[in-house]
Each structure stands twice: as structure tokens, then as C-alpha cells.
């Protein structure tokens, strides 16, 4: 075959020689048209954002529906997400052309789309998401509100004030208050150095044989005795009374496993005591991180979720810090009344999902200074002297996922345990419920179980923003509670339901403080005497009684509560009455037992308790007991005796005193003195059993 123009053509059966010269004559036949394959057009990938606002914790919707292919080929969509290292976000497919995800931080989050046609042509697109963090809901505007200036109406009001602001007045303290001025007294109480519970415990521990740490720890429990020591003798009475009220808000109990560890328990009491006049947020933070609270409500050693090991964050503290310590179950108006929906039903404050988020935010806290491998071990494995410091964070056990808290407070993915805690505290501290919730508790603890909405609203305004612009200042709140017009209203101006029933412990302390209880042999073991209720001895985190307890239908019909009546049963009333039934004085003990004490520890008098009735003896003018009755009226029931009641008591006691003054005791003046003391202690017992002594007005 000849090459034409240097090219061999072997694709056809007939070889056409064109333009090479030579060959046959005539024109060559025409060439057939060229058969080239069609050209494929690549698809065009386009991602469009379908969400109007991009906020962390909210769904972001993206679409690839605007993507195209000029050839009309079928397309396949492959989506992927590139996210920050700390993120747990997952891309969810809605359908082939639509995806969504929740950014769990600020970003950047990059969504990729790979678009492929049937011929294998590919195009890609990306969309970068930079989410903003949610903005917490702001509180309503408030006006700076100063609490009322400290002032008292008269002497009776001074007696009532001391029953509210202290553990009860002692002889002479009413006169001192009136002379000094209540404004000076109040300022001195606020600035006085706290008499701590740990110091009080150390004073009495050896006497009670309490070894609290080390190999010889013996689980002797002195929480009640320590409280009695402070309540009876500490001059910082306003702070002591505030600590008592706070202990029934932030409840732990010595009935728990750690109850015999007094340094831990008293350290917790000091957490309340030292912050009693400070800012509520600081107090809440200290309570949250105290290991006694951590153990009691299982925040200590609480760890992140692990599905494979069936571990979920414990919800106990998360639930109670909302329900019992800060904001309650129902949304509140600023006067304490419930917020109602369109069906006139109370609106709930939080949901089970909220509890789960708070629980996750509070993971990763444990005893300070422990190795990671010890995290979550039973607290019994930790030496006693390592249990008292505030809990510290262990990041390996803190759940790093996003947490959506109340009112748009938000913890982004990757936040540390400390960052999560601060956001939790902010979400509760800046909740509109906090003011009325805490204020109601404190008013009920100090003044009256059924405050008017107006009273609650006035004090809440001070909680929300005092005259210095501070939210949650407890000193200002306490001043607003004690000097509000409703608290200082005269007895004859009060509604019949005003005041509060004294709980058994408060009543017990009032009595023993007034008559200066002590030991006959002058030791501190008498502090162990106790009523049916003891300090930090509640049966559960729900305290001794509910603040909403309604004892009967009559109360319910009037919309009234009487919390303390929940623990006053027939049994406790009878048992507690014995604390006042057999009051002895030193003179009575000397008369009954005239022999010397040879071996104090084996003598039955070793545990004898005596009271000092010199305040009424000094007022006894012969057989005229009217001054005695006036003293008991002022100091025990704060002016609640009616004229008829006074006359009846005088008519009962005066003849007995008259007889004792003139009877023949065969020359024994000690016998005469003992008889008079017996008559007067019987009178005290009568007054102690009266409803007027059981109710603080």
C-alpha cells in the first residue's frame, strides 16, 4: 500500500487517494460525516442558608436545591461538616437536598456539599457558619430602693423586735436597745466580728470527748451542741439568727453519713454564717462548692455522660438548687404571687430537660487535691481532714457538650467546669423569681408566715436593687424585712393571722437564753439537752416542714399557711413540754441535795441543768407578783397578755407566795427560798405552755 502524504489510512475498506496524483480517473466519492461523542457539562453546586438567624444552640438549615446541571442529569448530594475541635455538632440529613445542624459554639462551622452527576462529573461548594452565642434574657428595669431606716415605735415594739432579730431578749436588753438606739444596734450587729461555729465546736469538743479526725475519730456528733453554744452566748445575735434562717433554706442534715464529721458540718454552717450579710450570689457559689452539700445532694463526684458505661449526670443537686434554694417550681410575680397562663394555671419554672442540662453543667467537681483516678470514689475513702476544703474541678470528668439553661443562658461546647458553674450561677441569680422566692423564705423565718403581697414586693424591690444599685445584698434585705411597716405594726393593728409559730428549737432557745441555762456542776454538757428539732437535723433536703404547709381546712379556706405546725404533733408537744416542766434553780438543787459532791462523774447531779430566775426574783415585791407577771409578759410573750390573763395569773400565784413568806420552815431559810423558787418555776412553766409563748408576733 502506498502512503499518501506520509499517512497510512486503514479505517476504510476502499482506500481513497485524494490529491496525491495518479490513480484512477473521475471524482472520488464524498467522505461520510465525523461521529464525535457528545460533551458532558459539569454540575454546579450551590449552598443556600435557609435560617434567618444563626445562634448557637438553635438549628441551622441549609439547602442545595439551587444546585444545577445543564445536561439535566440526575445528581447525588454528599454533605459533610467541618467543626471546631471542642464541638459535638452533628450534621442531620432532612432529605437529599437539605441538611441541618446545631452549632454548639461560635464557630467557624463549614458545611460542604459534593455534587456528582451520572457521568462522574463533580462540583463542590462550602458555607461557613459563625454563630453568635445566645443573649440571656434581661431582667425588667428596676428602681434603686433603699430599705426603711431602723426605727421602733415603743418599748413593746423593742421587745417584739428582739424576738424577731435575735434568739430572744435577756433581762436588760430591751432597756439597752432603747438607750443605744435601734439604728446603732443594727449597725453594730452588721459590723460585728462573726463568732464562728468551728470556734464554738473547738471550745466544747474536748469536754464532750469528740475526736473528729485521724485514726481515733469517734463520730461523736456536736452540731446541736455547737449551735446551742452560739445561740445562747454569742453577741452577734442578728447574724446567728440569719444563719439559722439560711440553714433552713440551704438544707443539709447531720442524719446523713457524714453527720459525725463535725468540722465538715460546722464548716458548712460557717459558710452560711460568714456570708449571712453579703451578696446572695457569693453565698450560693460557696454553698454549691461546699463538700458537705456536694455529698448530701450528690454533686461531688458527679461525672459526664458515658452511654457505653450507662453513666448519666446525677440530677439531684441540679433539681434542688432550683426548686428549693433559688427560684421554686412556679414562676412568680414580684409580690410572690404565681404567674398564671391563659387557663389561670400556674406557669412552671423549669422542665425535666432543664434539669438535665443543669446537671450536665455541674459535672466534674470533687474533693480538692485528689488524683484523677480517685474521682467519684465513695467519700468514705477520703481522709477526714481532706474533706473540708471547697470542691475543685476535674476537667476529665466534666461534660463538655453545650448546655441550654433557663432564660437563654448558655454554656457552649468545650467550656470548662468553672465556666459552666459561673453561667449556672448567673442564670439563677438573674432569674426574676429569685427575689420573691428568697424574700418570702426570710420573712417567714423572721417575722410572719403570711406576709402580704405588698410586704413581699417592698422587700423584693430592695433585693433586686438596693440604694447602691446592688442586687442580692442580704444586709439590705434583712433591714427591709425587719423595719418594714408591716413588721413594726403594733399588736392591736395586726391582722389575726400575723406572726409565726415558733418551731420547737427556736422556742427552746428563747426559754434557755432568757433564764440563762447552765450546768449545776458548771460544765457544758447541758448543751446536749434538746427538743424534738435540732440544728441541721432535718430528715431530708425539704427541711423540717414545708413553707406552704396548711394544717387544716380553716387555714386553707383563708389562704393561710403555718409551716411549723407540720412538726408540732401531739407527741412532740408533750415531749417538748418536759423541757420546761421541771425547771430547777441552783437554790433548789442545794435544798434537794445538801450533801457534797465527791465524785462528779458518777454523781447524778453531774447532768443536772439549772436556770437563773433572778430576773423575776428581783421584781418580786413581797407577795405582789404583778411586776413578775409584767416581766414575763414583756420578755416571754412580748405584750400578748390580756388584762384578764394577767389578773388570773396574779390571783393564782400571789396567795402561794404570801403563804411561803410567812410559813414556818423550822428556821430553814433555804427551805423558804426553795419553796418560793418552786412556785415561780411553776409559773414559768405555765407561761411556757401558753399559745402566746408558742407564737412570735
Other Cβ atoms within 10 Å of 84 Cβ, number: 16
Give residue 518's pLDDT band: very low, low, confident or very high (50, 70, 90): very high
- Least trusted range by pLDDT, from 107-111, 123-127, 501-505, 603-607: 603-607
Give residue 470's pLDDT band: very low, low, confident or very high (50, 70, 90): very high
Give the model's pLDDT for residue 555. Answer: 95
Give the model's pLDDT for residue 28. Answer: 53
Q: Does residue 105 register a pLDDT over 80? A: yes
Bigger pLDDT: 615 or 4?
Answer: 615
- Least trusted range by pLDDT, from 102-106, 215-219, 466-470: 215-219
Residue 294 cell numbers, joined? 456536694
Give the model's pLDDT for residue 397. Answer: 97
Give residue 378's pLDDT band: very low, low, confident or very high (50, 70, 90): confident
Interatomic CA distance for residues 253 and 303, integer angstroms:
24
Distance of CA 403 to the CA centre of its chain: 20
Give the model's pLDDT for residue 519. Answer: 95
Q: Does residue 220 register a pLDDT over 90? A: yes
Interatomic CA distance for residues 91 and 102, integer angstroms:
8
Measure the N-to-C terminal CA separation of the chain; round to a whole number of Å.
131
- Least trusted range by pLDDT, from 35-49, 224-238, 326-340: 35-49
Give residue 4's pLDDT band: very low, low, confident or very high (50, 70, 90): very low
Q: What is the mean pLDDT of residues 77-103?
A: 97
Find out whether 34 and 11 touch, Cβ atoms under 8 Å. Answer: no
- Least trusted range by pLDDT, from 38-47, 97-106, 220-229, 245-254: 38-47
Give residue 27's pLDDT band: very low, low, confident or very high (50, 70, 90): low
Query: What interhelical angle do 280-289 and 417-429 show, nearest 10?
Result: 140
Query: What interhelical angle do 626-635 and 155-165 show, nearest 10?
Result: 50
- Burial class for 214, CB neighbours closer than 10 Å (0-12, 13-18, 19+): exposed
Each residue's pLDDT tens digit, 159-168? 999 999 999 9
Find out whether 299 and 495 touch, Cβ atoms under 8 Å. Answer: no
Give the model's pLDDT for residue 18. Answer: 35
Interatomic CA distance for residues 540 and 493, integer angstroms:
38
Interatomic CA distance for residues 283 and 246, integer angstroms:
10
Give the model's pLDDT for residue 32. Answer: 58
Q: Does residue 420 register a pLDDT over 80? A: yes
Q: Of 473, 448, 475, whose CA–CA distance to 463 is shortest?
A: 473
Find out whether 463 and 145 touch, Cβ atoms under 8 Å. Answer: no
Bigger pLDDT: 607 or 670?
Answer: 670
Q: What is the mean pLDDT of residues 90-116?
A: 97
DSSP conformational letter for 689: T
Q: Which residues contact 144 (CB under 8 A, 6 or more apart)?
A: 465, 466, 467, 468, 469
Find out whether 256 and 295 touch, Cβ atoms under 8 Å. Answer: yes
Give the model's pLDDT for residue 34. Answer: 56
Q: Does residue 23 register a pLDDT over 70? A: no
What is the three-class DSSP state of 80?
A: strand
Interatomic CA distance for residues 572 and 531, integer angstroms:
8
**Backbone phi and psi for residue 696, each to the nearest 5 degrees, phi listed first:** -95, 120
Residue 77 cell numbers, joined? 448530594
Interatomic CA distance for residues 625 and 119, integer angstroms:
114
Each residue's pLDDT tens digit, 532-559? 999 999 999 999 999 999 999 999 999 9
Helix/strand/coil percentages in the chain, nearest 5? 40, 10, 50
Interatomic CA distance for residues 626 and 619, integer angstroms:
9
Which region holds residue 172: left if phi is over 0, alpha if psi is between -120 and 50, else beta? left
The helix (H) or strand (E) run that includes residue 112 is strand 109-117
Give residue 671's pLDDT band: very low, low, confident or very high (50, 70, 90): very high
Give the model's pLDDT for residue 593. Answer: 86
Interatomic CA distance for residues 566 and 564, integer angstroms:
5
Give the model's pLDDT for residue 379. Answer: 83
- Burial class for 335, CB neighbours closer than 10 Å (0-12, 13-18, 19+): middle
Which region holds residue 407: left if phi is over 0, alpha if psi is between -120 and 50, else beta? left
Find out whether 50 and 27 touch, Cβ atoms under 8 Å. Answer: no
Using alpha carbons, list the distances in angstroms from residue 604 to 63, 122, 420.
89, 100, 58
Q: Does residue 16 register a pLDDT over 80? A: no
Q: Does residue 274 register a pLDDT over 70? A: yes
In CATH, what class is 48-129?
Answer: mainly beta
Averaged pLDDT score across all residues of the chain:
93
Give the model's pLDDT for residue 596. Answer: 78
% of residues, the chain, pLDDT over 90: 88
Q: What is the mean pLDDT of residues 566-592?
A: 94
Q: Does residue 456 register a pLDDT over 70? A: yes
Give the model's pLDDT for residue 692. Answer: 96
Bigger pLDDT: 429 or 32?
Answer: 429
Question: Which residue ranges make up each domain of the chain?
Answer: 48-129, 155-499, 504-696
Bigger pLDDT: 463 or 1?
Answer: 463
Interatomic CA distance for residues 451 and 561, integer angstroms:
10
Give the model's pLDDT for residue 9. Answer: 34
Q: Does residue 690 register a pLDDT over 80? A: yes
Residue 653 cell numbers, joined? 400565784
Give residue 33's pLDDT band: very low, low, confident or very high (50, 70, 90): low
- Least trusted range by pLDDT, from 192-196, 518-522, 593-597, 688-692: 593-597
Distance of CA 283 to the CA centre of its chain: 9
Each residue's pLDDT tens digit, 132-142? 999 999 999 99
Find out whether 684 and 615 touch, Cβ atoms under 8 Å. Answer: no
pTM of the full structure:
0.92
Strand partners, 4: 7
Query: What DSSP string describes 432-488?
Result: TTHHHHHHHHHHHHHT-SS--HHHHHHHHHHHH--TTS-SSBHHHHHHHHHTSTTTT
Q: Of 291, 118, 248, 140, whose CA–CA distance to 539 is shortest?
A: 248
Strand partners, 77: 115
Interatomic CA distance for residues 311 and 304, integer angstroms:
7
Each residue's pLDDT tens digit, 311-345? 999 999 999 999 999 999 999 999 999 999 999 99
Amino acid at each position: 500500500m502506498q502512503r499518501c502524504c506520509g499517512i497510512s489510512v486503514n479505517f476504510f475498506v476502499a482506500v481513497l487517494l485524494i490529491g496525491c496524483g495518479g490513480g484512477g480517473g473521475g471524482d472520488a466519492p464524498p467522505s461520510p460525516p465525523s461521529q464525535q461523542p457528545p460533551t458532558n457539562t459539569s454540575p454546579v453546586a450551590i449552598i443556600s442558608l435557609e435560617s434567618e438567624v444563626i445562634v448557637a444552640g438553635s438549628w441551622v438549615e441549609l439547602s442545595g436545591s439551587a444546585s444545577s446541571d445543564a445536561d439535566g442529569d440526575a445528581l447525588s448530594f454528599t454533605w459533610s461538616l467541618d467543626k471546631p475541635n471542642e464541638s459535638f455538632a452533628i450534621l442531620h440529613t432532612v432529605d437529599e437536598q437539605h441538611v441541618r445542624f446545631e452549632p454548639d459554639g461560635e464557630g467557624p462551622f463549614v458545611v460542604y456539599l459534593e455534587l456528582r452527576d451520572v457521568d462522574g462529573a463533580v462540583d463542590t461548594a462550602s458555607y461557613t457558619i459563625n454563630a453568635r452565642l445566645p443573649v440571656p434574657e434581661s431582667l425588667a428595669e428596676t428602681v434603686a430602693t433603699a430599705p426603711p431606716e431602723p426605727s421602733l415605735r415603743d418599748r413593746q415594739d423593742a421587745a417584739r423586735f428582739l424576738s424577731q432579730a435575735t434568739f430572744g431578749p435577756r433581762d436588760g436588753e430591751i432597756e439597752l436597745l432603747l438607750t443605744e438606739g435601734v439604728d446603732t444596734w443594727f449597725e453594730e450587729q452588721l459590723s460585728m466580728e462573726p463568732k464562728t461555729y468551728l470556734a464554738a465546736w473547738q471550745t466544747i469538743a474536748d469536754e464532750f470527748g469528740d475526736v473528729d479526725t485521724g485514726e481515733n475519730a469517734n463520730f461523736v456528733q456536736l452540731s446541736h451542741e455547737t449551735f446551742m453554744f452560739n445561740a445562747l452566748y454569742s453577741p452577734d445575735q442578728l447574724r446567728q439568727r440569719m444563719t439559722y434562717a439560711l440553714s433552713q433554706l440551704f438544707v443539709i442534715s447531720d442524719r446523713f453519713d457524714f453527720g459525725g464529721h463535725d468540722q465538715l458540718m460546722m464548716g458548712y454552717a460557717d459558710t452560711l454564717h460568714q456570708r449571712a450579710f453579703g451578696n446572695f450570689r457569693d453565698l450560693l457559689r460557696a454553698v454549691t462548692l461546699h463538700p458537705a452539700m456536694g455529698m448530701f445532694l450528690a454533686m461531688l463526684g458527679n461525672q459526664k455522660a458515658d452511654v457505653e458505661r450507662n453513666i448519666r449526670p446525677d440530677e439531684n443537686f441540679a433539681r434542688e438548687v432550683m426548686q428549693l434554694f433559688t427560684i421554686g417550681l412556679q414562676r412568680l410575680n414580684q409580690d410572690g404571687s404565681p404567674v398564671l397562663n391563659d387557663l389561670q394555671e400556674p406557669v412552671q419554672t423549669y422542665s425535666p430537660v432543664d434539669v438535665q442540662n443543669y446537671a450536665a453543667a455541674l459535672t466534674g467537681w470533687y474533693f480538692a487535691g485528689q488524683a484523677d483516678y480517685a474521682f467519684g470514689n465513695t467519700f468514705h475513702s477520703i481522709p477526714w481532714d481532706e474533706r473540708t476544703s471547697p470542691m475543685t474541678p476535674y476537667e476529665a470528668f466534666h461534660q463538655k457538650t453545650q448546655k441550654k439553661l433557663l432564660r437563654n443562658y448558655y454554656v457552649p461546647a468545650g467550656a470548662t467546669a468553672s465556666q459552666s458553674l459561673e453561667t449556672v450561677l448567673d442564670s439563677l441569680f438573674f432569674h426574676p423569681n429569685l427575689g420573691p422566692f428568697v424574700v418570702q423564705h426570710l420573712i417567714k423565718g423572721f417575722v410572719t408566715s403570711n406576709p402580704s403581697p405588698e410586704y413581699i414586693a417592698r422587700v423584693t424591690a430592695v433585693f433586686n436593687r438596693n440604694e447602691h444599685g446592688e442586687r442580692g445584698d442580704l444586709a439590705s434585705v434583712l433591714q427591709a424585712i425587719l423595719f418594714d411597716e408591716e413588721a413594726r405594726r403594733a399588736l392591736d393593728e395586726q391582722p389575726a393571722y400575723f406572726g409565726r409559730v415558733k418551731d420547737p428549737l427556736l422556742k427552746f432557745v428563747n426559754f434557755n437564753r432568757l433564764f440563762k441555762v447552765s450546768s449545776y456542776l458548771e460544765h457544758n454538757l447541758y448543751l446536749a439537752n434538746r427538743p424534738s428539732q435540732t440544728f441541721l437535723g432535718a430528715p431530708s433536703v425539704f427541711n423540717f416542714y414545708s413553707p406552704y404547709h396548711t394544717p387544716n381546712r380553716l387555714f386553707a379556706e383563708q389562704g393561710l399557711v403555718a409551716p411549723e405546725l407540720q412538726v408540732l404533733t401531739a407527741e412532740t408537744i408533750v415531749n417538748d413540754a418536759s423541757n420546761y416542766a421541771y425547771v430547777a434553780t441552783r437554790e433548789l438543787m442545794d435544798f434537794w441535795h445538801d450533801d457534797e459532791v465527791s465524785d462528779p462523774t458518777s454523781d447524778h447531779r453531774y447532768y443536772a441543768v439549772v436556770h437563773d430566775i433572778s430576773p423575776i426574783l428581783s421584781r418580786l415585791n413581797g407577795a405582789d407578783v404583778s411586776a413578775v407577771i409584767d416581766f414575763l409578759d414583756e420578755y416571754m410573750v412580748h405584750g400578748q397578755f390580756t388584762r384578764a390573763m394577767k389578773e388570773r395569773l396574779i390571783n393564782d400565784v400571789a396567795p402561794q407566795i404570801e403563804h411561803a413568806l410567812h410559813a414556818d420552815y423550822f428556821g430553814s431559810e433555804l427551805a423558804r427560798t426553795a419553796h418560793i423558787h418552786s412556785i415561780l418555776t411553776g409559773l414559768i412553766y405555765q407561761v411556757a405552755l401558753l399559745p402566746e409563748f408558742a407564737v412570735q408576733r
